[in-house]
Amino acid sequence: MMRVLMTSLLSIAISQPVLAAFELQPLPYPATALQPAIDAQTMTIHHGKHHKAYVDNLNAQIKTYPELDKMSVEQVLAQISKYNPAVRNNAGGHYNHQLFWSLMAPTGQTGEPSAALLERIKADFGSMDEFKKQFNAAATSRFGSGWAWLIVNPQGKLAIGSTANQDNPLMDIAELKGQPILALDVWEHAYYLSYQNKRADYAAAWWSVVNWKTVNQLFAASAPQSSSTRSSSEQP
Ligand SMILES: [Fe+2]
């Protein structure tokens, strides 16, 4: 009897492994913290339903691709061409949203662009105003669902662009490739409750909650690599 029971338990354990390599982290602030730029209900649904679904659906793909269990989401993105559309959409969705939450902060806790970042923005775009104008143009002109990005590209320069759906600049298939340091979700689920079809108003209001502390850190982390890339590419 005991042997039968142990065998049954073992078979259950084998047939129902815990497939949860990727985790949904809590929001780094209360859902109300970004008001009035982003309302609490949008934040609650966006994080607790949409982001959670990307994480759950990505974990479900471990049955198809067992190696995902041992990989970071960045490693998955770097070779996304090997995988099916479900991995592409959900690994992208998980990375993009995890980054997005960290790129926002309550008013008064957002910090300011570092001197180094400001210098680079002026060098690559002319001014902060021109940079924001170009970024918002990328956000509003993206047809359908997607993301606007500020990246450090492989040449070590800042670049603005957008991607469709949940694609991002870390994917090996991306046309826009580089290290993201700022991102704006322009799916309707990110803004529709407060802004309806006025995506431009959402993009304009969003600047009030951009967490420059995180942007500065991501820029600083990408700088050594971009400097060496630039200097090596300049050598004959
Ligand atoms: Fe989203």
CATH code for the domain defined by 115-234: 3.55.40.20
Peptide bond into 26 cis (omega under 30): no
Smallest CA-to-CA distance from 86 within 48, 68, 52, 60 is with: 60
pLDDT at position 236 is 29
pLDDT-derived band at 81 (thresholds 50, 70, 90) equals very high
Instruction: Determine the distance separating the centroid of ligand 1 and the alpha carbon of 60, expressed in angstroms.
Output: 20
- Which sequence spans correspond to the domains of the chain? 115-234
pLDDT at position 11 is 42
Instruction: Determine the distance separating the centroid of ligand 1 and the alpha carbon of 46, expressed in angstroms.
Output: 6
Instruction: Determine the distance separating the centroid of ligand 1 and the alpha carbon of 11, expressed in angstroms.
Output: 38
pLDDT in tens, 20-47: 699 999 999 999 999 999 999 999 999 9
Would the pLDDT of 227 be above 70? no
pLDDT at position 19 is 54
pLDDT-derived band at 224 (thresholds 50, 70, 90) equals low
Q: What is the mean pLDDT of residues 185-206?
A: 97
- Sheet arrangement for strand 146-152: 158-164, 146-152, 179-185
Instruction: Determine the distance separating the centroid of ligand 1 and the alpha carbon of 228, expressed in angstroms.
Output: 34
Mean pLDDT over all residues of the chain?
89
Instruction: Determine the distance separating the centroid of ligand 1 and the alpha carbon of 220, expressed in angstroms.
Output: 26
Which is higher by pLDDT, 155 or 235? Answer: 155
pLDDT at position 229 is 42
Q: What is the mean pLDDT of residues 165-170?
A: 98
What residues have their beta carbon closer than 5 A to ion ligand 1? Answer: 185, 187, 190
Q: Which of 16-25, 89-98, 141-150, 162-171 is the least confident region? A: 16-25
Q: Which of 41-50, 97-106, 151-160, 223-232 is the least confident region? A: 223-232
Rounded Cα–Cα distance for residues 61 and 47 (Å): 20
Instruction: Determine the distance separating the centroid of ligand 1 and the alpha carbon of 94, expressed in angstroms.
Output: 9
Q: What is the mean pLDDT of residues 40-60?
A: 98
Q: How many other C-beta atoms lie within 10 A of the C-beta of residue 195?
A: 19
Would the pLDDT of 211 be above 80? yes
Would the pLDDT of 10 be above 50? no
Q: What percentage of the chain carries pLDDT values higher than 90?
A: 84
Mapping DSSP onto H, E and C, the string for 125-179 reads HCCHHHHHHHHHHHHHHCCCCEEEEEEECCCCCEEEEEEECCCCCCCCCCCCCCE
Q: What percentage of the chain carries pLDDT values higher than 70?
A: 86
Instruction: Determine the distance separating the centroid of ligand 1 and the alpha carbon of 185, expressed in angstroms.
Output: 6
Instruction: Determine the distance separating the centroid of ligand 1 and the alpha carbon of 111, expressed in angstroms.
Output: 24
pTM above 0.85, yes or no: yes
Instruction: Determine the distance separating the centroid of ligand 1 and the alpha carbon of 109, expressed in angstroms.
Output: 23
Instruction: Determine the distance separating the centroid of ligand 1 and the alpha carbon of 76, expressed in angstroms.
Output: 19
CB 18 within 8 A of CB 66: no
Instruction: Determine the distance separating the centroid of ligand 1 and the alpha carbon of 97, expressed in angstroms.
Output: 6
Note the helical H segments in the chain. Answer: 2-15, 40-45, 52-60, 73-78, 85-102, 115-125, 128-141, 192-195, 199-206, 212-234
Would the pLDDT of 146 be above 50? yes
Instruction: Determine the distance separating the centroid of ligand 1 and the alpha carbon of 214, expressed in angstroms.
Output: 19
Instruction: Determine the distance separating the centroid of ligand 1 and the alpha carbon of 166, expressed in angstroms.
Output: 8
